[in-house]
Structure 1
Amino acid sequence: MKTKPSLLGGSCIIASVCVGAGMLGLPSAGAGAWTFWSLLAITLTMIVMTISGWMLLEAFKHFDLRVSFNTVTKKMLGHKVNMLNNIAVYFVGGILLYAYITSSGLILQELLNINGKLASVLFVAIFSIFVWHSTRAVDRISVVLIAFMILSFVFGVSGLAINVDISVLFDTINQEAEYAPYALAMFPVALTSFGYHHSVSSMRAYYGEERKAKYAIIGGTTIALALYFLWIFSIFGNLPRSDFSPVIEQGGNVDALLGALSSVIESESVAQAINAFSMAAILSSFIGVGLGVFDFLADFFKFENSKLGRSKTWIVTFIPPLVLSLLFPFGFVTAIGYAGGVATIWTCIIPALLAKKSRSMESGREGFIVPGGSIILTIVIVFGVFTAVFHFLAMAGMLPTFTG
């Protein structure tokens, strides 16, 4: 008898998609806003992004289980909107894979003492196999990775948490410092930290219904939020706000963050646990994001679900970001910021428009519906628009920028 997929497995897939970007991007992005305003921005983003994912489920209920953004958006919102959405989905998925591949190369270069580019190639060659194999394989490895992350996180972060300095955590030394203005530029990175939406169709297909997928989504975003809170608390409680200057100068690269942390961590075992956690976070997100992009491109190109078809999908999913990573490596947080600015299209605006269209259909009032009426649709769209505006204002130097 075939076993039914567990909610824990699905929640771990969603959480694993989120935590790579969030864990490694949020500390540097939130250095200006610091503890209180960072946690507030993360919490608000988590709520909106959970609801917008549910909106996709509401729209997807009209279609068979193998569809994704491409088919649904084209049929419900038209070819032009679908083309814009496709570009945004692939851009964000590709740039996240690109950021993870580059970061893994930097970390493996230090761990294995090999060339960074070779490390990136090996990383893709070995770990993308799980995505090529099946969603079930991703489920299994995601559970293992989340368990490993929790163990290394508990061991590493407990070492940090024990040594948390409250004066550092709340930056009491700088009585006249401003924090709130820096939170605006943090929203694009926070949004990317909950950017699991390309995996919503995979979750729906995995469970065969919308309601279980709904619980897997909120389970996954809740796990991610809890991990973010612990991580921010531990990092900001040990690494003074002023010490983020060299990390920010290097574009928030993961190796720079780990290097700064090593200067304040006295225990070698704790430092190794933090390094292991960071690598697991990147790996889990690489596999989770890879699955979402893989399923999206399989639907877009109409590749068959056979070994040959999945091999074609593997090529268009992983080779372009690998090549770009080898040719043009740059700041991790910069990449995540670009992803967040563009991701507002398909994580906020498109889901709300799809849900609105769904409700205008004859069968729209049947089955799964996100509560909140038209007000919640408006809130999600406005949140997405403002997040995109904040990103482009930050790029233009029109928002306060923290340099340490």
Structure 2
Amino acid sequence: MPFYCEKAMNLQRFGAMFILMGTAIGAGMLALPLVSSQVGFWPAVGLMVFVWAVMLITGFLVLEVCLAFPEYKNNFDSMAYHTLGPIGRVVAWITTLVLLYALTSAYIAGDSSLLFELFTKTWSLQIPQWVDAVAFTAVFGGAVFWSTRAVDILNRGLMSVKGLALVFTLILLMPHIDVAQLERHQGSLTALWAMAPVFLTSFGFHTVIPSLANYLKKDVVELKRVVFWGATIPLIIYIFWLMVVFGIIPYVGEHSLSAIRANHGSAGMMIATLITVAHSHAAKVSVNIFSNVAMTTSFLGVTLGLFDFLLDATKRENHRRGRVQIGLLTFVPPLLFAIFYPEGFVKALAYAGLCVAVLEVILPALMAYQLRRSRLRTSMFRFPGGNLVLALIFLMGVLFVFM
């Protein structure tokens, strides 16, 4: 293989991994320590590693099933229908659309709000927020409409900024960590398990796997690397973030995690407390940059998965006319909700953990089981462990649903 071809393929692989990571690592990552503060650092890390292992396995199961189908006919609609029948298709439709439309609407509302604030404070321009929402959707949604390649190139730039902001934040804050605070545990097993749905959504990258399988031309070796590192790097980042927050903000006192919880505080309040305790204004700037860019990279990954799901579900051809139709179906409903009824999808986000448990844990186990029983289709890849692993994953998914 010529050098330039090999270099292009390496860039494409890293781009696919960045899309997967960008989908998982959203601005919600900042709130993970606040949710985990009920139990402490080490129990939270233990649960997070467990959830990561479950979601990594189900990511490989989605890859296994998706590789048994032709390109652009390999999304959750086709996978569920051909393995689980009409009922599986209905479940896939409901959970995918509720989850991805809700997330898309939330990201449009969040980013348009940031644009409104930017224009108002920087240039004193009073641009209506609905104009900001339309502009944001047109620019970044346009990349999704154009191609996965366009998303890859745009996402690489954003992930570079996001990564630098995060590294800069950690460098500034880590010298302030009090290691003794990491040893303090509190809470109960009930409180620990109640955190699982939040952690699940932090590893919710599965809906974009079929898109990346098409993008990498079903290269099994590369896709396995993308799924593994795309799930593992977020885990490492989350643990470092937990370490920083738990090591700097005390559990009790005026500026403490318990005080923030008692006041029903948000991630923003926690960040403000973190900056106050660490006395670092520069960290505040870098955290703000990270959170703003994180919403955009998550928007790209989520809408890429939604776009390709609808392309598969509506059986449109992957040409210009079909992509225009799917683009309208992907972006217009959440845009309208973000403008006229933002609280509608905010309410739907309350069911995000449930949707992720069904769509990204239970369905992959069932689909892989049925695929392996069937003699009509074979996959280019099979995750090891046999039916025992599938049964355990299914049971974990059911447990997550009832948490």
Q: Aligning the two structures, in what range does the TM-score lie when normalised by the shorter sequence?
A: 0.7 to 0.9
AA in 2 matched with 1:99: A
Task: Give the distance between the partners of 1:297 and 1:331, measured in 2 at CA.
Answer: 21
1:7 maps to which residue? 13
Residue 234, structure 1, aligned to residue 241, structure 2: no
Question: Quick one: structure 1 residues 281 and 248, their matched pair in 2 at CA, closer, same or farther if it must change by over 3 Å?
Answer: farther
- CA shift, 1:326, in A, is 3.0
Matches of 2:195 and 2:310, distance apart in 1:
30
Query: Residue 36 of structure 1: CA displacement?
Result: 1.3
Deviation, structure 1 residue 266: 2.1
Moved more, 87-96 or 323-332: 323-332
CA distance in 1 between counterparts of 2:156 and 2:264 reads 31
1:106–1:255 contact (8 Å) kept in structure 2: no
Query: 1:401 matched to which residue of 2?
Result: none
Alpha-carbon deviation of 1:302? Answer: 2.4
Distance 2:225 2:62 in 1: 14
Alignment of 1:77-226 (within 5 A): 77-113=84-120, 118-170=131-183, 172=184, 177-209=186-218, 210-226=220-236
Which amino acid letter does the alignment assign opposite residue 238 of structure 1?
A: I
Contact between 1:199 and 1:292, CA under 8 Å: does it hold in 2?
Answer: yes
Instruction: Please say if residues 95 and 359 of structure 2, whose CA atoms lie closer than 8 Å, have aligned partners that are also in contact.
Output: yes
Q: Is the 8 A contact 2:216 2:223 kept in 1?
A: yes
Question: Structure 2 CA distance, aligned partners of 1:295 and 1:303?
Answer: 10
Change (3 A) 1:112 1:260: farther
Q: 2: distance between equivalents of 1:52 and 1:220?
A: 13
Q: Does 1:275 align with 2:280?
A: no
Compared CA separation, residues 43 and 275, structure 1 to 2 (3 A): same
Structure 1 residue 303 corresponds to structure 2 residue 309: no
Q: Find the counterpart in structure 2 of residue 396 from structure 1.
A: none
Tell me the CA shift for residue 388 of structure 1.
Answer: 1.3
Question: Which secondary structure state, in structure 1, belongs to the residue aligned with residue 177 of structure 2?
Answer: coil
Deviations 1:82-138 (A, max 9, x none): 111111011111122223223334444444436655544433232222211110111
Residue 26 and residue 116 in structure 1: after superposition, are their counterparts in 2 closer, same or farther (change >3 A)?
farther
Aligned residues: 386
Q: 70, 78, 86: which is aligned to 1:71?
A: 78
C-alpha distance after superposition, 1:289-313 (max 9, x if no partner): 1100111011112233233322222
Give yes or no for the alignment of 1:289 onto 2:302. Answer: yes
Q: What's the CA shift for 1:234?
A: 1.5
The residue number in structure 2 matching 1:59 is: 65
**Residue number in structure 2 paired with 1:46:** 52
User: After the TM superposition, which residues 225-374 of structure 1 pair with which residues of structure 2 at under 5 Å, given as runs?
Assistant: 225-241=235-251, 243-244=256-257, 255-329=268-342, 337-362=350-375, 367-374=380-387
More moved, 363-372 vs 10-19: 363-372
Residue 281 of structure 2 aligns with an amino acid whose one-letter code is E
Unaligned runs of 5+ in 1: 391-404
Q: Which amino acid aligns with 1:186?
A: M
Shift of 1:57: 2.0
Distance of aligned partners of 1:29 and 1:328 in 2 relative to their CA distance in 1, 3 Å threshold: farther
Structure 1 pair 79/246, CA: closer, same or farther in 2 (3 Å)? farther
CA distance in 2, matches of 1:12, 1:250: 36
TM-score scaled by length of structure 1: 0.86
Report the AA paired with residue 92 of structure 2: N
When residues 42 and 289 of structure 1 are mapped into structure 2, their CA distance, relative to the original with a 3 A threshold, is: same
Bigger CA drift: 188-197 or 118-127?
A: 118-127
Corresponding residue number in structure 1 for 2:123? none
Q: Do the aligned residues in 1 keep the contact of 2:102 with 2:346 (CA within 8 Å)? A: no
CA contact (8 A) 1:76 1:354 kept: yes
CA contact (8 A) 2:27 2:291 kept: no
TM-score of the superposition, structure 2-length normalised? 0.86
2:251 & 2:115 partners in 1: Cα distance?
27
The answer as to whether partners of 1:169 and 1:238 remain within 8 angstroms in 2 is no
Report the Cα distance in structure 2 between the residues aligned to 1:213 and 1:75, rounded to whole angstroms: 22
SS in 1 for 2:25: helix
Q: Which amino acid aligns with 1:14?
A: L
The CA deviation at 1:191 is: 0.8
Within the candidate set 29, 32, 39, 1:33 is matched to 39
Check the 8 A contact 2:68/2:379 in 1, yes or no. no
Let me know the Cα RMSD of the aligned residues.
Answer: 2.8
Task: Kindly provide the amino acid, as one letter, of the partner of residue 201 in structure 1.
Answer: P
In structure 2, the CA distance between the partners of 1:248 and 1:279, relative to structure 1 (3 Å rule), is farther
The range that moved more, 198-207 or 230-239, is 230-239
Matched residues, percent identical?
A: 31
C-alpha distance in 1, partners of 2:260/2:376?
52
Residue matched to 2:23: 17
Of the candidates 380, 386, 392, which is equivalent to residue 379 of structure 1? 392
Structure 2: runs of 5+ lacking an equivalent: 121-125
1:366/1:284 CA distance change after superposition, 3 Å: closer
Aligned-pair distance for 1:144? 1.9
